Structure 1
Amino acid sequence: MAIRLDFQTEKKQGSLLITEESESNKTDVIRGFFSLFGFEKEPMQTTVYSPEIVVHSQGKAEEIQKQVSEAINQRLQQLESRPSKDEVEIKKPELINSKRTLNPTIGEMIGGAPQQEAPPEEPEWYQTGIKNKEGVPHYKLRYWCKNPQCRDRSNDYIKEDQKTVKCRKCGQKLLVRQAADEHMKRDEWGNFFIADKLAP
């Protein structure tokens, strides 16, 4: 076992590391170390450092050496009595709401579990763009109202030969035109007709 001594005065400082096991050698070496600082056998104030051990003492070198040995032995016993990493059991906290029970939840007790409704079926005209009103086909139209106070945008369904359409919000008349280059063809948004100009 090694002993390390660090000593400092106003004028001098020094360190000593003893690795031999003989008690008489340790005492002689410690006395010689302190004699370099002008201390022979008189009491002195010093601090002794050993791995993770600090001992403050006032007295002779033999007393310091004895206290250091006792402190080292106590520290070794503490280290040996500590459980190893393999023996330490790590406990993780339980996750919130992770326990399963047979009891109903508060939501089930209040009004039952919420049931998911099936999404409503889309009407056929959403896909075809043709809505039959009283047996007459009406075709999808997209309009943009040009009234500066309105500027409404919406879809409507009109007859094939209809030339104008009214804005639903302000009643402004708009001219109807084909949405695609060919007659009765749909554009990329599924519109047959577009109304985006003011009617005279």
Structure 2
Amino acid sequence: MAIRLSFQTEKKQGTLLISDASESNKSDVIRGFFSLFGSEKEPVQTTVYSHEIVVHSQGKPEELQKKVSEAINQRLQQLESRPSKDEVEIKKPELINSTRTLNPTIGEMIGGAPQQEVPPEEPEWYQTGIKNKEGVPHYKLRYWCKNPQCRDRSNDYIKEDQKTVSCRKCGQELLVRQATDEHLKRDEWGNFFIADKPVI
């Protein structure tokens, strides 16, 4: 504990600074400092700084010495009653989302949990290449538009006897032909028909 005493009378002035004072020698040091001033009868102004201790008083050195000792003892008791740095337990707050719980997260409560998309079942015509429209079978066709400004490529389903198809983007008419040498037999990409030549 550091002690700083400033003492001033009309004739004398003194300052005492002790950087490390123990309980056993603080009283002796303070008594010795006041004895240097003798038994003055005139009032004095005294200020004592020790951590947060400040005493302002006027009176005889003996009275001031008593007040300073009481203030220092009181402050020492306060400091001794505080837990030391080793005894103080520092609690850190938990990190956000550091523990998993069964409770929903804020994002789930606000926007709802993201829905897991169930893959739709593939329609039967994906496997067979034949789509029935009002009981009439339509066969898979692949077309390539030859219009230089379009060049669209797409699949379509047509009747067995259909001879032309129109491009969905530009409307150009294309001739239909079989995908293989055999009638209604699929090629390696699952097409029954191909349309890749414009109608002249």
Superposition TM-score, scaled by structure 1 size: 0.50
Larger Rg: 2
Superposition TM-score, scaled by structure 2 size: 0.50
